[in-house]
Amino acid sequence: MSTEDKQLYTVSIYTENNIGLLNRISAIFQRRHINIESLNTSPSEIEGVSKFTIVVNIDEVNIKKIIGQIEKQVEVIKAYYHNLDQIIYQISGLFKIKSELLFEEPQIQNIIKESNARIVTVNKAFFILEKSGRKEEIVQMYNQLSKFGIMQYTRSGLIAVTKEEMKISSLLESYNN
């Protein structure tokens, strides 16, 4: 697998909400030495059906094989892969910063304004900034703020919906028949 062919793929997996399934799915990546860039699980639009969103850097031949292995798991309803052009996605970053900086460093206020970040809470000791968007935007904000000192920083996995319709409901109906 040459590195040039690799790109970021988003894997969307619709599953039953069962204990242990995360283990089964992550093991598929682990066995093949594929590093998971980010992972998010949440309920999906269908009651009782969970959705995994996993981002990996891989080539298309191998992502197809991975999808096959994932779909093979008994409790997986359907798995898809998309490149970043085929999805609408967001990630979220949280920044904890000393409160005094908010007043002493006017530049910080400018950063907040220009980046459309949101102040989640403020107290005497610190304030929390939240910024949603593409990864580059969160990273850019991190770079801008880091020179003033960040007490804590964390970034979520990617959450995504596809531009194309994913017919899970009708698929489930066909399984039930």
Partner 1 sequence: METQTIKSQGKTNKATERISGSEAIVRCLIEEGVDILYGYPGGAIMPVYDELYKYQGKIHHVLTRHEQGATHSAQGYARISGKVGVAIATSGPGATNLITGIADAQIDSTPMVCITGQVASHLLGSDAFQETDIVGISTPVTKWNCQITKAEDIPIVMAKAFYIAKSGRPGPVLVDITKDAQFEEFDFAYEKCTHVRSYNPVPTTDIIKVKEAADLINAAKKPLIVWGQGVILGKAEEEFKAVVEKSGIPAAWTILGASAIPTSHPLNVGMVGMHGNYAPNVLTNECDLLIAIGMRFDDRVTGSLSTYAKQAKVIHFEIDPAEIDKNVKSDVAVLGDAKKSLEELLPFLEEKSHTDWHQKFKDLYQIEYDKVIKNDLYPTKEGLTMAEVLKEINIKSEGKAAIVTDVGQHQMIACRYADFNVSKSNITSGGLGTMGFGLPAAIGAKMAAPDREVVSISGDGGYQMTIQELGTIFQQKAAVKVVVLNNDFLGMVRQWQQLFFDKRYASTEMVNPNFVAIAEGYYIKARKVTKREELAEAVAEMMQSKEAYFLEVCVEKEDNVFPMIPTGASVSDIRLE
Residues that bind partner 1 (CB under 8 A): 15-20, 23-24, 27, 31, 48, 64-65, 68-69, 71-72, 74-77, 172, 175-176
Is residue 161 within 8 Å of 88, Cβ to Cβ? yes
Is residue 73 within 8 Å of 21, Cβ to Cβ? yes
CA angle 68, 70, 75 (to 5 degrees): 125
107 versus 169: smaller Cβ distance to partner 1:
169
Least distance to partner 1 from the beta carbon of 86, Å? 22
d(CA 14, CA 46): 9
Composition of the chain by helix, strand, coil, percent to 5: 40, 40, 25
170 versus 176: smaller Cβ distance to partner 1:
176
Least distance to partner 1 from the beta carbon of 157, Å? 22
Least distance to partner 1 from the beta carbon of 65, Å? 6
Helix, coil or strand: residue 107: helix
13 versus 112: smaller Cβ distance to partner 1:
13
d(CA 177, CA 175): 5
Least distance to partner 1 from the beta carbon of 173, Å? 10
Least distance to partner 1 from the beta carbon of 30, Å? 9
β strands within 7-86, DSSP E: 7-16, 36-43, 49-58, 76-83
79 versus 138: smaller Cβ distance to partner 1:
79
64 versus 134: smaller Cβ distance to partner 1:
64
